């Protein structure tokens, strides 16, 4: 299996859900599809790297080409292997449009579904895309995070670690916690730093409640931060953004 917990068919079903009908719900799924496709691509790359398949691309190509339509040749793929081997996930940042925040749904008289751009949120997104990393982001890139699964849900540590990696943290999925009965996510700071700390960024990324953030300085620490996921963890981060009113009231 290339993706943990899924065969190739299951992975592609995750990335491309069945279209029931062209309605507002499906448009929302289409926007979220980009995030799921990125998850699958990262999982395939990580599994191929960890299994040593990138050093023997031809069998991987023979299997994957049955499910992927592309005009790239095997020679094209082989030329990209050195880049795939050198990728650092903590240095990769993704950008995507979020429906009702970057766009507003609108239906013209012909009945088609249209997304109207919200220019201010879009401008902020493009500005973030073209702006070099800030000092806070550089600090985050050096922070190491251990992620353990305190629930009975399989592979949640992998999901959360992958999300933190996309946020610029050096996160490691560490498997199961001491028990599977954690109701809420726990975040432990082993650095004890008050300035230049990534604590608040990690807490915000994983929606950790303030009362579940602990400071336990450890000069002999293996990781700077420790995360124990609880049952309330929700990986669907894109839906936490409030919609933008395209026609705000005057003076409001």
Count of structural domains, the chain: 3
User: Global pTM?
Assistant: 0.52
Residues 50 and 113 in one domain: no
Residues 143 and 121 in one domain: no
Residues 52 and 109 in one domain: no
Per-residue pLDDT, 48: 79
Q: Is residue 249 part of a domain?
A: no
Tokens at 146, concatenated: 């251990």
Maximum separation of any 2 CA atoms in the chain, in Å:
66
E strand or H helix that includes residue 21 = none
Paired residues of 103 in beta bridges: 99, 117
Answer yes or no: are the C-beta atoms of 187 and 233 closer than 8 Å. Answer: no
Quickly count: other Cβ atoms within 10 Å of residue 249's Cβ. 6
Per-residue pLDDT, 129: 84
Residues 230 and 140 in one domain: yes
The domain of 122 spans 95-131
Residues 4 and 40 in one domain: yes
- Percent helix, strand and coil across the chain, each rounded to 5? 40, 15, 45
Residues 32 and 112 in one domain: no
Q: Which of 112, 131, 150 is the last residue of a domain?
A: 131
Residues 230 and 147 in one domain: yes
Q: Is residue 156 part of a domain?
A: yes
Q: Which of 28, 54, 88 is the last residue of a domain?
A: 88
Q: Is residue 240 part of a domain?
A: no
Residues 55 and 113 in one domain: no
Per-residue pLDDT, 181: 94
Q: Which of 32, 58, 88 is the last residue of a domain?
A: 88
Residues 67 and 10 in one domain: yes
Q: Is residue 211 part of a domain?
A: yes
Cα within 13 Å of Cα(9), Cβ side = 0
Per-residue pLDDT, 148: 96
Per-residue pLDDT, 174: 94
Q: Tens of pLDDT along the chain (252 residues)?
A: 344 444 555 555 555 554 444 444 444 556 667 777 777 777 778 777 888 888 888 887 888 788 888 898 889 988 988 888 888 766 677 777 877 888 888 999 998 888 899 999 899 889 888 887 655 554 555 678 999 999 999 989 998 998 888 777 888 999 999 999 999 999 999 988 766 678 888 888 898 999 999 999 998 899 999 999 999 998 765 444 445 455 544 444
């Amino acid at each position: 299996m290339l993706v943990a917990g899924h065969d190739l068919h299951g992975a592609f079903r995750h990335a491309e859900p069945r279209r029931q009908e062209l309605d507002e719900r499906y448009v929302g799924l289409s926007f979220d599809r980009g995030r799921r496709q990125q998850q699958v691509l990262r999982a395939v790359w990580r599994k191929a790297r960890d299994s040593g398949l990138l050093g023997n691309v031809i069998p991987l190509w023979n299997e994957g080409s049955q499910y992927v339509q592309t005009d790239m040749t095997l020679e094209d793929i082989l030329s990209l292997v050195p880049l795939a081997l050198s990728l650092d996930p903590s240095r990769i940042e993704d950008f995507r449009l979020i429906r009702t925040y970057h766009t507003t749904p609108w239906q013209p008289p012909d009945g088609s579904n249209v997304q109207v751009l919200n220019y201010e949120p879009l401008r902020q997104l493009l500005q973030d895309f073209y702006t070099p990393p800030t000092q806070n982001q550089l600090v985050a890139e050096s922070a190491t995070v251990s992620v353990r699964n305190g629930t009975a849900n399989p592979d949640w540590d992998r999901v959360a670690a992958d999300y933190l990696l996309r946020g610029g943290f050096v996160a490691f999925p560490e498997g199961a916690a001491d028990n599977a009965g954690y109701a809420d996510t726990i975040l432990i700071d082993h650095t004890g730093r008050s300035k230049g700390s990534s604590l608040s960024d990690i807490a915000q990324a994983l929606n950790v409640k303030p009362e579940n953030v602990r400071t336990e300085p450890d000069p002999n620490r293996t990781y700077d931060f420790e995360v124990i996921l609880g049952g309330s963890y929700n990986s669907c981060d894109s839906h936490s953004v409030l919609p933008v009113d395209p026609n705000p009231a005057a003076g409001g």
